[in-house]
Amino acid sequence: MESFNFFFPTRIVFGNGKLGIIGEETARLGKRALLVTYPSQSLKNAVDQAVELLGQNGVETVLFTDIEANPTHAQVNLGGEAARDAGCDVVIGLGGGSAVDSAKAIAVVATEGVDIWDIYEGHPITRPSLPLVAVPTTAGTGTEATFFTVISHRELKRKEGFARTQFYPKLSIVDPLLTLSLSPYMTAATGLDALSHAIEAYYCRASTPVVEALAARAVRLVSENLRRAVFNGQDVVARYNMMLANTLAGMAITQSDSCLAHVVGEAVGAVYNTGHGVSVAVSLPATMEYNCFAAMDQMANIASWMGVDTFGLTKRELAALAPGAVRTLIEDVGLPRGLAALGVKDTSAVMELMLRPGMDAASPRPAGQADFELLMQACLSPEMGYWRLGGK
Ligand SMILES: [Fe+2]
């Protein structure tokens, strides 16, 4: 039995309509809030409601909306400056992963006064950061429950996820009703991202018993609710369960690590600017096939959590069915079967990113250059896969 740590400093308030507490709760943390979000018709109601509730509770709001889908270091630095200039004493991130990730980084930069890229490269955080309130409006990244942020550097053509304890939100208000307006495609892509967090956090080398408990519930919830949420966006129960899966999977991954689907998906996203959720989702089945027998017990459990009929099957047989269960879900919710469908053609730049040292550190089965080349091919065209990867 291995020893493990569990540390989780974020207070999470979860439930339908909980956006309603944003005013009174933020008022406990500060008097002037930098509200980090992005211009979006589907977010307008939530932003208006938040600003009104903050005002009613004596919190002045400074809006910062200069955030893109893949937030850049320059935008984060500007956000930090805006918070300092306006004398903000609390930061709110309201929106999808890009808004919350930006807010995490802005809350640090605002007090530290250095470039966020310097912090990524190891500059120590020496000052207390501004308290952060995270309000996610998608059910996928789980960023409201993690100490990760993902920031791009356009000039360097880099996109890096990195972790700092200071990135944990002080408070996360997780309101499933905020996801009702998500499109079927975004619901599918972000939902598969949540599934990939639960699956990868569980089977990778950094997993712990706490991660297993969180992942088991999250995988079941996605398997039982994602199709419903995609095909009927107004299904409040499915939306609630997907949001819960998203937060549990975030808690799992922040205690553990991601694995090869994120290595492939993030490299593809950095080069081709494809969405994070879809890039990772499409890469998940083949990377699970790669690890199918290095993590056989875990894969067998994943298959049963996903609803595979376990009757009469050996553990080996069950494990081999796990990647297919994920592939079926991906197809059912209308995401592409391979990365080629996302326009990925020349893979040399992607390979370069994947072959940096340590990229396979969390993988139960190590991966060298030849393995990554095979994996890339398998992710590109789904006809390849398990047998081609020598998994038998
Ligand atoms: Fe992810």
Q: Measure 273 CA to ligand 1 centroid, in angstroms.
A: 15
Q: Measure 195 CA to ligand 1 centroid, in angstroms.
A: 9
Domains of the chain: 11-179 (3.40.50.1970), 184-380 (1.20.1090.10)
| pLDDT score for 384 | 52
| pLDDT score for 391 | 42
Percentage of the chain lying above the pLDDT 90 cut: 89
* 387 pLDDT higher than 50: no
Pairing status of strand 132-136 against strand 148-153: unpaired
Q: Measure 269 CA to ligand 1 centroid, in angstroms.
A: 11
Q: Measure 141 CA to ligand 1 centroid, in angstroms.
A: 6
pLDDT band at 72 (very low <50, low <70, confident <90, very high): very high
| pLDDT score for 70 | 85
| pLDDT score for 327 | 95
The answer to whether 105 touches 124, Cβ cutoff 8 Å, is no
135 Cβ contact list (under 8 Å, min separation 6): 19, 22, 46, 50, 92, 93, 94, 95, 100, 144, 172, 173, 174, 175, 178
345 Cβ contact list (under 8 Å, min separation 6): none
C-alpha 257 chain-centroid distance: 11
Q: Measure 277 CA to ligand 1 centroid, in angstroms.
A: 6
Per-residue exposure over 87-101, b if at least 16 CB sit within 10 Å of its own CB, e if not: ebbbbbbbbbbbbbb
Q: Measure 69 CA to ligand 1 centroid, in angstroms.
A: 14
- Tally of residues, the chain: 392
| pLDDT single digits (tens) 161-188 | 999 999 999 999 999 999 999 999 999 9
* 388 pLDDT higher than 70: no
Inter-CA distances, 17 with 4, 50, 123, 204, Å: 35, 12, 39, 35
* Residue entry with tokens 């250059």: 369
Q: Measure 46 CA to ligand 1 centroid, in angstroms.
A: 24
Inter-CA distances, 302 with 46, 192, 193, 244, 337, Å: 36, 14, 15, 18, 20
- Give the residues across from 153 on adjacent strands: 158
Residue 100 φ then ψ, to 5°: -70, -40
* Residue entry with tokens 């890096």: 160
pLDDT band at 242 (very low <50, low <70, confident <90, very high): very high
| pLDDT single digits (tens) 247-284 | 999 999 999 999 999 999 999 988 888 889 999 999 99
| pLDDT single digits (tens) 119-140 | 999 999 999 999 999 999 999 9
* 385 pLDDT higher than 80: no
| pLDDT single digits (tens) 301-324 | 999 999 999 999 999 999 999 999
Closest CA to 62 of 99, 40, 37: 37
- Give the residues across from 36 on adjacent strands: 64, 93
* 364 pLDDT higher than 70: yes
* 156 pLDDT higher than 90: no
Q: Among positive and negative, which fits the CA dihedral 258, 279, 275, 236? A: negative
